[in-house]
Structure 1
Amino acid sequence: MNLYIIDTGLFKLDGGAMFGVVPKTIWSKTNPADENNLCTLAMRCLLIEDGDRLILIDTGIGNKQDEKFFSHYYLQGDDSLDSSLAALGFSANDITDIFLTHLHFDHVGGAVKRDGDTLIPAFKNATYWSNRQHWDWAVNPNAREKASFLKENILPIEQSGQLKFVDVQDGVRFTDNIHIRFINGHTKAMMLPLITYKGKQILYVADLVPTVGHIPLPYIPAYDMFPLTTLDEKKKILDDAAEKEFILFFEHDAVNECCTVQQTEKGVRLKQVFKLTDI
């Protein structure tokens, strides 16, 4: 089994939205903002080579939206989904499975591409994995979350016949080496893969803990639909991570790829940061 980072570029989001009720004087120490109060974030995906399966977790923002859409997010860097795959000797056609933690545009945008005037799956040989509860939530979005669920990112997957659903049951097995934790605070039924690798457990934390700066419990983005649910879920998972020595893999931290956490008198806090290749 091999794990590879797939960098798909950097973007910016409002710092206040990223940290909710936490004052800027505190959160800016770990996530400095620019003159427009925007923080730089990664869109770091994970490629898992496991036997005859090549599994890609999330796909970044993609490149099919118009200039006006991208102008809101200040895309940066030279990395892209295709270039990162190519640097490892892979192509989109090699991917057997696309595991979508959830269907917000910065996680699923690269799953669909334009072919002339048509929208088609970017990975023609892959099965796309979501779950029924989250899928229904995304295709019938509430007014607050509607801007994050773009139909052009989602509906072509179903129309292609490549979409499958996993059972919504915490700890359900995806493969022998990947189990799924379900989270409902950020959005309904977000899926976090827990990967067994080299005798360790790596939790892909997606938007539950976007960056190292979000480890303290109250540091919850205003984007979360149910922040008190996030608070409970985050405590449970971080307590597990400290006790069982999980490695947290960050999708959005522009600087840190992985970390471990530990219990302190102030609660769970950062223990050590390191690169995936250091494992």
Structure 2
Amino acid sequence: MEKLNIGEVTVTWLDGGNTALDGGAMFGVVPKLLWTKKYPCNELNQIHMRNDPLLIQTRNRNILIDAGMGKARLNDKQKRNFGVQKEANIDESLQILGLKREDIHCVCMTHLHFDHVSGLTRNENGILISMYPNATIYTSHIEWDEMRNPNIRSRNTYWRENWEHIQEQVCTFTDKLDLDEGIKMIHTGGHSDGHSIILIESNGEKMLHLGDIMPTHAHQNPLWVMAYDDYPMTSIYEKEEWIDYGVKENAWFTFYHDAYYRAVKWNGEGELVDVLKVAK
């Protein structure tokens, strides 16, 4: 598992499962000739994607960013339709670190689409129960409302079974939330109306996790947004603002979906100056 130190904070990527998604959907209106120069696809036009939660460890807390695809959460039809190649192995990842599910203090949900939230529950003898029974689950108020009352578009990704078994653990916020010293959740909208990002600051170092408004390093261009984005212009404005901030602050940009890079730094010309690659 790859690790990144942000001052006194340690970031570790857990095994949340792999998918193969349509490259055209992931890059929206960007021509294939352009996006394939930055992110390869297979003969079916699918791109390799990770769904790996980030474990944030401070002096006092174990915090997850998103929850992965889960295990035994999807039926065969769903696995085929969503290109699931491998389910999550979160228990194994935590065991390597000397942790258990019960040791997670909170989970920060950038948003509640199925590929981020399915891992909040686990299947025990045919019954869904909370994966992290001792954790507080944080998400924006807007996201939580839409999760429980999806519209005609969003009901394909906001599933009742992904919220009804963990609803007592959920705590919502409006604009910003201080999670721990130097760790903030900030509502942005864009990919979904309730989408949020995470900012970490420790000992003068910074990390930005932009969630699905920048799912991979290849989405660096603010105009390169997914066809899945509900509010693409908001994604563009937010990416522009936060990428500019991160570059000026020499921040690490981290990813949940990227199959090649866990984290990168860019200079003012948009060039990679430091990277943490996904181990092969």
Same fold, TM-score > 0.5, yes or no = yes
Cα distance in structure 2, aligned partners of 1:81 and 1:164: 23
Give 1:52 deviation, angstroms. 2.8
Give 1:226 deviation, angstroms. 0.7
The within-5 A match list for 1:1-279 is 1-63=9-71, 64-77=73-86, 80-158=89-167, 161-165=168-172, 167-170=173-176, 172-264=177-269, 269-275=270-276
Give 1:198 deviation, angstroms. 4.7
Cα distance in structure 2, aligned partners of 1:127 and 1:84: 20
Cα distance in structure 1, aligned partners of 2:152 and 2:68: 23
Give 1:109 deviation, angstroms. 0.7
Tell me if structure 2 keeps the 8 A contact 1:168–1:189: no
Cα distance in structure 1, aligned partners of 2:260 and 2:196: 23
Normalised TM-score (structure 2) = 0.90
Cα distance in structure 1, aligned partners of 2:112 and 2:156: 11
| Structure 1 segments unaligned to the other structure (5+ residues) | none
Q: CA RMSD in A?
A: 1.8
Give 1:181 deviation, angstroms. 2.3
**Structure 1 segments of 4+ aligned residues over 6 angstroms from their partners:** none
In structure 1, what residue type is equivalent to 2:48? Answer: T
SS at match of 1:35: coil
Tell me if structure 1 keeps the 8 A contact 2:266–2:274: no
Tell me if structure 2 keeps the 8 A contact 1:4–1:47: yes
SS at match of 1:188: coil
| Structure 2 segments unaligned to the other structure (5+ residues) | 1-8
Give 1:40 deviation, angstroms. 0.6
In structure 2, what residue type is equivalent to 1:218? Answer: L
Give 1:141 deviation, angstroms. 1.2
Cα distance in structure 2, aligned partners of 1:270 and 1:138: 37
Give 1:276 deviation, angstroms. 8.2
Deviation string, structure 1 residues 237-271 (Cα, Å, up to 9, x no partner): 1111121222100111101011112333xxxx242
1:273 to 1:39, Cα distance in 2 relative to 1, 3 A: farther
SS at match of 1:225: coil
Deviation string, structure 1 residues 99-132 (Cα, Å, up to 9, x no partner): 1111001111100112224221111121111222
Cα distance in structure 1, aligned partners of 2:162 and 2:87: 22
In structure 1, what residue type is equivalent to 2:191? Answer: H
Cα distance in structure 2, aligned partners of 1:276 and 1:197: 22
In structure 2, what residue type is equivalent to 1:131? Answer: S
Cα distance in structure 2, aligned partners of 1:116 and 1:44: 25
